[in-house]
């Protein structure tokens, strides 16, 4: 099985889809001749041509809106936002047109929006956001967020095959830092959670870039404690069964979001546990997230707000001692 | 590229050249049905049978009737809220339209969305959203797919004078111009965006912007259904020939308030009276009467059809509340838009 980086896995999924399905079309700013701001589509235009690897005008609403039009007449558009932050300019089309279409009119919108998200590299307030919760709160849109290369590929295949709009949160910090074995060819990874590390004393629930952070934080075993890490992988649908199963086995829960804390994905997980897992708990549900500030530019400021290994480890220590 | 600015559309003889007498009657019938259905729906609204508010296109019937009539079965339409005739031309039945207004299960959205926010996907139509003009981009994307696949089809969308102020108007015009797409934009200039008049909306007539985006813009008398048809027919021909988009500014007047609650006191009475003389239905009726057509008979048959539709729609059940959370996501295969009815005789030659 080949070993790929997270970025290579995303590229491989897109290439496999373009090769196997004529309906698949990539759209985005600078994705063609330039190969994309992060080079995810490097070399694609040579193989697939400018019609299928389309350099669009600088118009995020235009990208999402035209992709919706193409989708409802039989195409399978995959849109790239150059940075996830820019989806704010395409928010209306995604939330109001795509997200509500099937409920209102029974018309499916098979559309994928790739959102390079997250901070950790001095991107500043407009190149570092984690906007997934915006879309969790908008009915009709699925949201997935892989943390491994294998899941990045499998979830992207599933997203492209899905008949609904899917936000594919690809964390920029993982692009070249994460590398693992990835099956070749087209395969689907279900929109469910995955136990990244089994344990029984405490579970850290995370997704995206916070999964490797959680794994590192608990890697020393925290004085012999058995700590589980649950990788959500999908935020909509949210795998309630897997979450409640981990809570029942571990009784103590730390939830980690890189997103701003208020109403983040982790807030929904905490609410779920409070409603349906209360009897299993042996301590308060603890959250680690970015405080409600824009992501600052300067490294010491940015590191002060993003959840890191130390904060997660400390949260686990305190809860284990509860 | 040749671009024209505010070129008056050839009406009259040019239109008649492409329309049989039967077509011309069809156009009148579509407008009469639209007006009659909206009047009936307004009565139902006042009786408390139409929830929410009520929006109509009184006086603007020619815009949607004429333009939609030029579209083929495989063309795709994104229809605005004062364009009921377009739905009728595509084949949506009066009964389902009245059921839609009343939030009944047999309405086009099954009660999921409000009165004019609908499009029958099986007939090649996508319903609008309230954010205007979002659908200009959706239509542009449809046209993009047609061009990529080398298909002889076009997309059409309607939007108002107010929506030319929003970014999506620019993004769609620009995109369609850059990619030279087979899309027809109908700018329904009805003088007011809710209460806001044109001089607070733009500094230049928006049809002039077409040239700036690299394609043809034409101004048409939006109260002449045959002129509307001819402009749309010519635009579609251009689109299918690979000559790109057309912006058609249909000049008309919103004769009623923005919605049922709006008394329109911000509109000078003289303006309304002036436009009343240009009623699109009276105009088409006169043409047909002069040709010896039985217009009164047509009116009677339309009224009978609406009466029957209202009776059926009033008897139709409301949606089951237990289904309110169903269908947010598609659980099966994504089924693309289907083909619509295309009654224009120009399509009878077997064009698909």
Q: How far apart are CA B99 and CA A158, in angstroms?
A: 38
pLDDT digits (tens, 9 = 90+) for A110-130: 999 999 999 999 999 999 999
Q: Quick check: do A3-181 and A194-320 share a fold? A: yes
Write out chain A residues lying below 8 Å of B157, CB-based. none
Nearest by CB to residue A69, choosing from B130, B137, B328, is B137
Q: Which of A97, A198, A260, A288 lies closest to B128 in space, CA to CA?
A: A97
Q: Are B32 and B298 in contact (CB under 8 A)?
A: yes
Task: Report the CATH superfamily, name and number, of domain A3-181.
Answer: Thiamin diphosphate (ThDP)-binding fold, Pyr/PP domains (3.40.50.970)
Q: Domains of chain B by range and CATH?
A: 7-316 (3.40.50.970)
Average pLDDT over residues A142-161: 98
Which residues in chain B land under pLDDT 70? 1-12, 349-352
Direct distance between the N- and C-terminal alpha carbons of chain B, in angstroms, rounded to an integer: 29
- Domain assignments of chain A as residue spans, ordered by start: 3-181, 194-320
Query: Which of residues A221 and B25 earns the better pLDDT score?
Result: B25
Res B116: pLDDT = 87
Q: According to the model, what pLDDT value does residue B349 have?
A: 58
pLDDT of residue A220: 82
B212 vs B177: CA distance, rounded Å: 9
> Which chain A residues touch B167 with a CB distance below 8 Å?
61
Q: What are phi and psi of B195, to 5 degrees?
A: -105, 0
The pLDDT tens digits for A245-258 are 999 999 999 999 99
Helix (H) or strand (E) holding B29: helix B21-46
Cα A270 from Cα A283, distance rounded (Å): 13
B327 → closest Cβ in A70, A71, A103:
A103
pLDDT in tens, B93-140: 999 999 999 999 999 999 999 888 999 999 999 999 999 999 999 999
Q: Distance, in angstroms, between A236 CA and closest chain B CA?
A: 11
Mutate to test the interface with A, among B145, B179, B185 (most CBs of A within 10 A): B145
Strand partners, A290: A260
- Give me the residue from A75, A92, A103 closest to B328, CB to CB: A103
CB pairs A-B closer than 8 Å: 139
What's the token pair of residue A134?
Answer: 């915006």
Sheet containing A165-171: which strands, arranged edge to edge?
A53-55, A24-28, A76-80, A111-117, A165-171, A142-144, A234-236
- φ, ψ of residue A228 to 5 degrees: the values are -95, 150
**Mean pLDDT of the A16-28 span:** 98
What is the pTM for the complete model shown?
Answer: 0.96
* pLDDT on residue B125: 98
Token digits of residue B292? 């010896």
Chain A: closest CA distance from residue B237 (Å): 21
B-facing residues of A in 4-43 (CB < 8 A) are 25
* Cβ <8 Å between B328 and A140: yes
pLDDT in tens, B65-98: 999 999 999 999 999 999 999 999 999 999 999 9
What is the pLDDT, as a whole number, of residue B164? 96
Topology of the domain covering A194-320 = Rossmann fold (3.40.50)
Interchain proximity A70–B119, CB inside 8 Å: no
Cβ within 8 Å, pair A72-B119: no
Distance from CA of B216 to the nearest CA of A (A): 20
* Structural contact between residues B226 and B16, judged by C-beta atoms closer than 8 angstroms: yes
Per residue in A223-251, is it b (16+ CB within 10 Å) or e — as a string? eebebbbbbbbbbbebbeebbbbbbebbb
pLDDT at B11: 57
**Cβ–Cβ under 8 Å, residues B157 and A144:** no
ipTM of this predicted complex? 0.96
Nearest CA in chain B to A58: B171
Instruction: Give how far A171 is from chain B: nearest CA, Å.
Output: 25
For B267, phi and psi rounded to 5 degrees?
Answer: -100, 125
pLDDT at A282: 97
Active-site position among A127, A157, A171, A173? A127
Active site residue A161: no
């Amino acid at each position: 099985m080949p070993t790929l980086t997270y970025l290579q896995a995303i590229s491989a999924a897109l290439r496999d889809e373009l090769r196997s399905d004529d309906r698949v079309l990539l759209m985005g700013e600078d994705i063609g001749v330039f190969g994309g701001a992060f080079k995810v589509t490097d070399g694609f235009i040579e193989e697939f041509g400018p019609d299928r690897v389309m350099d669009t005008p600088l118009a995020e609403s235009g990208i999402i809106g035209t992709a919706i039009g193409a989708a409802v007449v039989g195409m399978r558009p995959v849109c790239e936002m150059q940075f996830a932050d820019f989806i704010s300019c395409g928010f209306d089309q995604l939330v109001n047109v795509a997200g509500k279409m099937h409920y209102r009119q029974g018309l499916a919108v098979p559309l994928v929006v790739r959102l390079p998200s997250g901070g950790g590299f001095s991107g500043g307030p407009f190149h570092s956001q984690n906007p997934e919760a915006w879309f969790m709160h908008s009915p009709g849109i699925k949201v997935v967020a892989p943390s491994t290369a294998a899941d990045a590929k499998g979830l992207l295949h599933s997203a492209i095959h899905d008949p609904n709009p899917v936000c594919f949160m690809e964390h920029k910090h993982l692009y070249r830092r994460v590398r693992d074995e990835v099956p070749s060819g087209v395969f689907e990874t279900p929109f469910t959670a995955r136990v990244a590390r089994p344990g029984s004393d405490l579970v850290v629930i995370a997704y995206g870039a916070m999964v490797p952070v959680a794994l590192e934080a608990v890697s020393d075993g925290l004085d012999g404690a058995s700590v589980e890490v649950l990788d959500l992988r999908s935020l909509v649908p949210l795998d309630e069964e897997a979450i409640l199963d981990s809570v029942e086995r571990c009784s103590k829960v730390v939830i980690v979001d890189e997103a701003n804390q208020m109403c983040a994905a982790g807030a929904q997980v905490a609410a779920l546990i409070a409603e349906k897992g209360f009897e299993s708990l042996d301590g308060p549900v603890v959250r680690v997230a970015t405080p409600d500030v824009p992501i600052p530019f300067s490294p010491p400021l940015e590191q002060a707000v993003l959840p890191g290994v130390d904060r997660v480890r400390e949260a686990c220590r305190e809860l284990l001692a509860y | 590229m040749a671009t024209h600015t505010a070129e008056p559309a050839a009406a009259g003889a040019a239109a008649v050249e492409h329309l049989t007498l039967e077509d011309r009657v069809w156009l009148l019938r579509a407008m009469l049905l639209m007006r009659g259905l909206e009047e009936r729906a307004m009565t139902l609204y006042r009786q408390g049978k139409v929830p929410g508010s009520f929006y109509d296109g009184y006086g603007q019937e020619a815009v949607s009737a004429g333009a939609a009539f030029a579209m083929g079965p495989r063309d795709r339409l994104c229809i605005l809220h004062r364009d009921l005739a377009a739905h009728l031309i595509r084949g949506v039945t009066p009964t389902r339209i009245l059921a839609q207004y009343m939030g009944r299960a047999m309405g086009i959205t099954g009660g999921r969305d409000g009165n004019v926010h609908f499009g029958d996907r099986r007939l090649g139509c996508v319903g609008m959203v309230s954010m205007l003009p979002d659908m200009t981009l959706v239509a542009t994307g449809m046209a993009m797919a047609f061009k990529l696949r080398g298909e002889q089809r076009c997309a059409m969308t309607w939007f108002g004078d107010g929506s030319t102020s929003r970014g999506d108007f620019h993004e769609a015009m620009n995109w369609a111009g850059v990619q030279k797409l087979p899309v027809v934009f109908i700018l329904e200039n009805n003088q007011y965006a809710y209460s806001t008049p044109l001089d607070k909306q733009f500094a230049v007539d928006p049809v002039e912007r077409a040239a700036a985006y690299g394609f043809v813009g034409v101004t048409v008398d939006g109260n002449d259904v045959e002129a509307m048809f001819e402009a749309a027919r010519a635009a579609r021909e251009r689109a299918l020939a690979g000559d790109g988009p057309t912006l058609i500014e249909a000049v008309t007047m919103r004769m009623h308030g923005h919605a049922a609650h709006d008394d329109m006191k911000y509109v000078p009475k003289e303006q309304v009276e002036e436009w009343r003389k240009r009623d699109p239905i009276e105009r088409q009726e006169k043409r047909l009467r002069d040709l010896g057509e039985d217009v009164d008979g047509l009116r009677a048959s339309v009224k009978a059809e609406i009466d029957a539709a209202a009776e059926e729609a009033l008897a139709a059940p409301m949606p089951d509340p237990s289904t309110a959370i169903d269908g947010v996501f598609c659980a099966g295969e994504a089924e693309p838009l289907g083909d619509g009815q295309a009654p224009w005789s120009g399509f009878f030659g077997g064009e698909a």
